[in-house]
Structure formats: C-alpha cells, structure tokens
Amino acid sequence: MKALIQDLVSQALAQLVADGVLDAVAAEPVIERTRDPDHGDFATNAALVNSKAAGMKPRELADKLVLALPTSEAVAGVEIAGPGFINFRLAAGASHALIPRILAAGEGFGRSDLGAGKRVQVEFVSANPTGPLHVGHGRGAAYGAVVADLLAAVGFDVHREYYVNDAGRQMDILGTSVWLRYLELAGEELVFPSNGYKGDYVWDIAATLHRHNGDAFRYPAAEVYAGVPADAPAGGDKEEHIDALIERAKQLLGAERYRTVFDLGLDTILDDIRDDLSLFGVDYQEWYSERSLTESGAVQRAIDKLKASGHIYEKQGALWFKSTDFGDEKDRVVVRDNGQTTYFASDIAYHMEKLERGFDRVIDVWGADHHGYVPRVKAALQAMGGDHAKLDVLLVQFAILYRGGEKAQMSTRSGEFVTLRELRKEVGKDAARFFYVMRKCEQHLDFDLDLAKSQSSDNPVYYVQYAHARVCSVLRQAQEKGFSTEISDGTTNLEHLAEDHEKALLTALAKYPEVVQSAALNEEPHQLTHYLRELANDLHTYYNAHQFLVADDALRDARLKLILATRQVLANGLALIGVSAPEAM
RNA sequence: GCCCCUGUAGCUCAGUAGGAUAGAGCAGCCGCCUCCUAAGCGGCAGGUCGUGCGUUCGAAUCGCGCCAGGGGCACCA
C-alpha cells in the first residue's frame, strides 16, 4: 500500500517536471504512515523537500502536486495540512482486501523477495569452546539468529555460521586443565593452576578421559611439575606457570595422546554448545573450524597475499601487518617471534576466505568489547584487495541480569547461574529469546529475570502470546456454541467491519510487511517486538470493546476473518523472533 | 590519553537518512467481568529530550565543545 502511494507521488512529481514547474526532483520524498489518524493514513513531505528548488512556498507546491496526482481507487481523500504535508486517506475497501491476502498467504505473509536471492553470511556467537555458553553469549545468539531469519524472510539467501576457535592457547589451557583434573581423579595430588579452567564441566570431561583410558595418561605429579615455575599465589607468574604446564603436557603425553585429551575437551564442549543453541532455536548451516585454516594453508596464503601487496614487515623477529596504512591505530603482529601465527592471522585468512566463497555480504555479530578489532580486520581485507565494504560488523552491547531489582551476580563463585542453559531453564526459551532482542543492539540491555518469568500483562512475551491464544480460544468457543468456524471466501461480508477498533486493527496488519522489511534492512529485531506488542494491544482492545461471536451471521463471519488474520500475523512475527505461538495459556 | 556505545516521564525504553501537539510499558491514582480466558481493557497524572553554542523556514534527530555512565585499547583468543 505504501508502494502505491509512493508511486502516485512519483508520478505527480514527474508530471510537474514535465510541465516545467520543477526543473528536476530535488529530493526524494518520504512516504510515511501518519501517527495521528486525523492526518489520514499516509503522509508525504514531497512538497516540503522540493519547495526550495521550485522557488515557491511548500503549500503552494503542495497544491500543484495534488492537482497532478493520478486518481486511484484505493485513495478516498487527499488533503494538504500543516506546513505543506500531503495526507492520503485510504478507501475502506482497500484495507479490507488485505484480509483474504493474509489468510491466503498464511505463513508467507510478510515475506518478500527484496533480497533477490543475494547471498548473505551471518556469523554469530562463535564463542571459544572452552566452556558452556555464558548468559552473555545469549544475546549475540538471539540477535544473530533473528537478523539472519529476518534477512531470509525478505528474500536473501542466508548462510548462518559459527567460527570455532579450535586452535590456540586458550584451547591448550583447556586441554591441560582436563589432563590435570584427570591426574587428580587418578589419585595424584597437585595444586590446580590459578589460570586453569576450574568449572565442574572440566571434572566431567576428565572423568570421561579416565573411564576410557584408565591410568594410561597418568604421570606422578612431581614429574609433571618438574621445572615448572611457580604459580601466582606462590609468588610467580600465572601465565608462565600455565604455559610451562602446557609444555609439560605436550612433552609427557606426546603428540598423539595430547591430541586425544585436547579433542575430548573440544568435542565434549562443542557438542554441549551445539545442543544448547539448538534448544534455544538457533541452528547453523556451518561450524567453521579455525584449525582447518592452518591445515588448508589458508593462513599462509593470506600472509603471502599481504606480503605480495607490500604491507608486511619484520621487526624484532616477528612479522607485522602494517594496518596503520588503512587507518588502524597501530600495526599488528601476524607471526610471533617464536614462529607461531597469531589469532589475528587466522582471522585475516577466515575473512579472506569468506569473501572468496562469494558472499555478496558478510555480517559478523560481535560483542561490543571487540569493537577495537574492527579496523584491523577491515584493513586486512583492504590490503588484500578485497571489497571491505561487503563486511558489516554488528556490535552487541552487554546484557545485565536483574533479579529482585538487584544486579544478578554472574560469576561462578557466587553460585548464581552463569550459563545460557540455566537461563533457559529459569525463564524459558520464549522469554529469553524475546527479551534478548527487545532492545536495539547498541543499547545496554537490562534483563529483568522476575519480569521474564511473570505471567502477567507486564510481561511483553505473555502479552503477545496471550493475544494469539485468545483468538484460538474464541474459535474453540465458537465451536462449543454451535457456530460454524468455516469462514467465507474473499472479501465477502468485510464491509461490516466499520468500527474504529476494526480499522485500527486493519491498519496495524497492513504495517506488518513494512515492519519486517525495515527490521531486516536495518538489522533491528526490536522493531518487530515493539510492533507485536502494539498489534497485541489492538487485538485485546478490540476484544474488550466488541463481541465476536454475535448472532448475525455476516457480522460474525467478518469479525472472525479479521481476528484469524490477526492471529496469522502474530504467529508469523513470533516465529521470526523464535518465540512459540501457543493455542492456549 | 585515544576509540566505540549510551544519556528522552519516578523506572525500563521507542522515536534520531530534520518535519505537524515528543510516544509506549511498568510504578501511582480512578474506573470496567450475570457477557468469547480480568494472563484483559479504558481514563487521569507525569517531560527545560544530559548541557552550552551553532546550522535551518523547522532540531530529541545534524555539527562542535563540555558533563555523566558503560566498554575497549596484547607477539591472549
């Protein structure tokens, strides 16, 4: 409908240009839905933005524009208001036609092919597999998933990917932590490193290792700690301590057994993360291994490419990428003086490879704490001659949990929950998904646990779900009262929808495709949650003001059609944000 | 010190590619069930849009400065 108005205005402007009133269209007009129903249904600022170029007052130009406007059956009235806005009032029949369209399209209503099948990759979560997903990862998961689903809904070919950091020091620390716990289970007495992973899950993995291998990986603690410098509590350095222990693990176990321990930790945790996300309604097309980048030679190829373009230099035994050539604040190491490539080197290779895979657009969803990382990744793409404009990094700010009006502690020590799994257990998947995307991503999120759990109208999730359930309930009632739940075809009987509440609901339904589009193109899922709340409100208000199951067959039929269409849109919107649409509550 | 995000009603937030009287939800007060789930609805009250200049016919929205809060500035990942 918006497109129709847009078209009419464009035609009118073109007509004025043809008539010589305007030299050219100076600025594209904005067509928007009015906030105040007194202003009609749509408004455009076409006269305001072009008045200067036309050399006349906005209202004067508006007069000419209105005269040049082609007539349309859908438009019942046009008027000039305020400083020169042109307001459009739609014909009642035009909005009625929406209902059969919604009912016919079903789950497809609101979807479009705007993206024209362009390939978009969305990489999100990508947390290190060194432990279960934290509550902080939940927001990235929910946000990334909805952005991906929204883009898919408007016709992009979306590829969801999780980058698995299965190499590097953090993973070595995990492997070593598992092994040390295993030694303790086998009966060795040792002081666990302060920098090791201390979660219970490490004990679980160690127990599995022990069950499968008995004492085959066991060495006396004294031998393991031989030559290892003191830990921080003993006056040493915790980094040197853990690094030395990693070295001892590799020496004593040898490559093969070390890999067994390492992979057991990795696989166990990755399985847990996969399962966790899946239960959270988040699924991926691909889990991309960082290790594979080294094994395939992609990392070396990326470094060579940077070298060939002249942006690599050597200093103090290390290889540096001159990212300052592309606006970064300092140069970055890609190969350390010990010959090992850095995490950044892998990331350069990964992003190079993303573009090579032919995506039209690449979206990374990162925690806001990584923002300083953006310039160097873009710099690398630029240096390699890739199109860095194809990469979009969306930064998600922190979520803070509140319980009983107090900040909930999120540390393991306090005994409060820390994992996404536990959050899901406490508030449920639906509330968690909804709350995580309720705010735009650059907004710090206050996550009120009590509110998320409350079964009242204060809770937006229940409020929206209840609207859906309410329509289902009316249908059940209809059956009990002996009314037919078969509804008529097309726009039959819809002329009976003349109440203000009905018009408001129709307007809200018509907005849905526009909201989906806007939410998708701006990567703003919160637009959808806000819309759903408004739509639910319109339905509840209507419900309170009018009886649906009336004796008059035609009127009842019309009202049932309207609420069925509303139910469909509520279900479609909820599905997009990964929340269920219950039939009863 | 430099960089990113935020500052709108008592609280949590919409609104920011400039536009008509700045909107919701909570909390507060007042109402609405012999009637399809009151897990609901209506009404009242509540704001110098952090602050100071500037650009403009027009600024919560754009520019500059300042103030406050959060986060980030590794040969870690």
pLDDT digits (tens, 9 = 90+) for A337-353: 989 999 999 999 999 99
Q: In sequence order, which residues have a C-beta less than 8 Å from that of residue A240 and are 6 or more positions away?
A: A229
What are the residue ranges spanned by the domains of chain A?
Answer: 2-90, 119-165+281-395, 456-577
What is the pLDDT at residue A581? 96
Beta bridge partners of A79: A87
**Tokens encoding A340:** 């090992």
Query: Residues 158-187 of A near strand B (Cβ < 7 Å)?
Result: 165, 167-171
pTM score: 0.93
Using CA atoms, how far residue A166 sits from A127, A172, A339, A447, A498, in Å, is: 10, 9, 19, 31, 62
What is A119-165+281-395's CATH topology? Rossmann fold (3.40.50)
Question: Is the CB atom of residue A79 positioned under 7 angstroms from any atom of strand B?
Answer: no
In this predicted structure, which of A118-122, A174-178, A324-328 has the lowest mean pLDDT? A324-328
Per the listing, tokens 């490879």 go with A353
How many Å from the CA of A400 to C1' of B21? 36
Mention the CATH class of domain A456-577: mainly alpha
What is the pLDDT at residue A416? 55
Question: Is the CB atom of residue A469 positioned under 7 angstroms from any atom of strand B?
Answer: yes
Query: Residues 95-124 of A near strand B (Cβ < 7 Å)?
Result: none
Query: Residues 232-271 of A near strand B (Cβ < 7 Å)?
Result: none
How many Å from the CA of A439 to C1' of B17? 21
Question: Is the CB atom of residue A369 positioned under 7 angstroms from any atom of strand B?
Answer: yes
| Residue A263 exposed, middle or buried by CB count within 10 Å (0-12, 13-18, 19+) | middle
Pick from A36, A57, A48: nearest CA to A9: A48
Give the residue with minimal CA–C1' separation from B42: A541
How many Å from the CA of A539 to C1' of B41? 11
Question: Is the CB atom of residue A456 positioned under 7 angstroms from any atom of strand B?
Answer: yes
**Tokens encoding A285:** 């097309």
Beta bridge partners of A399: A445
Averaged pLDDT for residues A428-455 = 90
First-to-final CA distance of chain A: 35
Give the residue with minimal CA–C1' separation from B73: A372
3-state secondary structure of A335: strand
Q: In sequence order, which residues have a C-beta less than 8 Å from that of residue A487 and are 6 or more positions away?
A: A557, A560, A561, A564
What is the pLDDT at residue A312? 95
Give the rounded percent of residues in chain A with a pLDDT score beyond 70. 98
Nucleotides of B under 7 A from a protein CB: 2-6, 12-21, 24-27, 32, 35-42, 57, 69-77
Give the residue with minimal CA–C1' separation from B5: A442
Is residue A415 pLDDT above 60, yes or no?
Answer: no
pLDDT for A532-557, tens place per residue? 999 999 999 999 999 999 999 999 99
Averaged pLDDT for residues A194-220 = 95
Contact A295, A168 (CB under 8 A): no
Q: In sequence order, which residues have a C-beta less than 8 Å from that of residue A152 and are 6 or more positions away?
A: A158
How many Å from the CA of A159 to C1' of B58? 45
Is residue A411 pLDDT above 70, yes or no?
Answer: no
How many Å from the CA of A237 to C1' of B39? 56
Contact A372, A132 (CB under 8 A): no
How many Å from the CA of A368 to C1' of B5? 8
Q: Which nucleotide does the CA of A342 lie closest to, via C1'?
A: B75
Strands A445-448 and A399-403: parallel
Contact A557, A487 (CB under 8 A): yes
Question: Is the CB atom of residue A81 positioned under 7 angstroms from any atom of strand B?
Answer: yes
Backbone angles phi, psi at A160, to 5 degrees: -95, 130
What is the pLDDT at residue A414? 46
SS3 content of chain A, % helix, strand, coil (to 5): 55, 15, 30
Pick from A103, A201, A105, A82: nearest CA to A153: A105
DSSP A147-211: HHHHHHHTT-EEEEEEEE--SSHHHHHHHHHHHHHHHHHTT------TTS--SHHHHHHHHHHHH
What is the pLDDT at residue A248? 96
Question: Is the CB atom of residue A397 positioned under 7 angstroms from any atom of strand B?
Answer: yes
Q: CA A228 to CA A219: how far, in whole Å?
A: 15
Give the residue with minimal CA–C1' separation from B25: A458
Is residue A335 pLDDT above 80, yes or no?
Answer: yes
How many Å from the CA of A557 to C1' of B74? 68
pLDDT for A275-330, tens place per residue? 999 999 999 999 999 999 999 999 999 999 999 999 999 999 999 999 999 988 89
What is the pLDDT at residue A60? 82
Q: Which nucleotide does the CA of A344 lie closest to, via C1'?
A: B77
Averaged pLDDT for residues A147-161 = 97
**Residue A61 pLDDT level (bands cut at 50, 70, 90):** confident
pLDDT for A443-493, tens place per residue? 888 888 888 887 776 789 999 999 999 999 999 999 999 898 889 999 999
How many Å from the CA of A91 to C1' of B21? 27
Give the residue with minimal CA–C1' separation from B4: A371
What is the pLDDT at residue A303? 96
Q: What is the CATH number of domain A2-90?
A: 3.30.1360.70
Averaged pLDDT for residues A190-217 = 95
> For residue A435, how many other CB atoms are within 10 A of its CB?
26
How many Å from the CA of A433 to C1' of B33? 33
**Residue A585 pLDDT level (bands cut at 50, 70, 90):** confident
Question: Is the CB atom of residue A454 positioned under 7 angstroms from any atom of strand B?
Answer: no
> For residue A304, how many other CB atoms are within 10 A of its CB?
12
Is residue A398 pLDDT above 90, yes or no?
Answer: no
Is residue A413 pLDDT above 60, yes or no?
Answer: no
How many Å from the CA of A287 to C1' of B63? 45
Query: Residues 531-570 of A near strand B (Cβ < 7 Å)?
Result: 533, 536-537, 540-541, 543-549
What is the pLDDT at residue A450? 85
Averaged pLDDT for residues A119-143 = 94
Label each residue of A444-488 as H, E or C: CEEEEHHHHHCCCCCCHHHHHHHHHHHHHHHHHHHHHCCCCCCCC
Q: CA A272 to CA A421: how far, in whole Å?
A: 10
Per the prediction, chain A carries an average pLDDT of 91
Question: Is the CB atom of residue A273 positioned under 7 angstroms from any atom of strand B?
Answer: no
More confident residue, A122 or A37: A122
How many Å from the CA of A339 to C1' of B62? 50
Query: Residues 310-329 of A near strand B (Cβ < 7 Å)?
Result: 315-318, 329
Give the residue with minimal CA–C1' separation from B20: A82
Is residue A412 pLDDT above 60, yes or no?
Answer: no
Strands A85-90 and A42-44: antiparallel
What is the pLDDT at residue A457? 67
Q: CA A271 to CA A277: how far, in whole Å?
A: 10
More confident residue, A378 or A17: A378
Q: CA A65 to CA A59: how far, in whole Å?
A: 10
Query: Residues 201-230 of A near strand B (Cβ < 7 Å)?
Result: none
Q: Which nucleotide does the CA of A375 lie closest to, via C1'?
A: B3
What is the pLDDT at residue A566? 97
**Tokens encoding A137:** 């990862």
How many Å from the CA of A453 to C1' of B36? 27
**Residue A417 pLDDT level (bands cut at 50, 70, 90):** low
Q: What is the ipTM of this complex?
A: 0.94
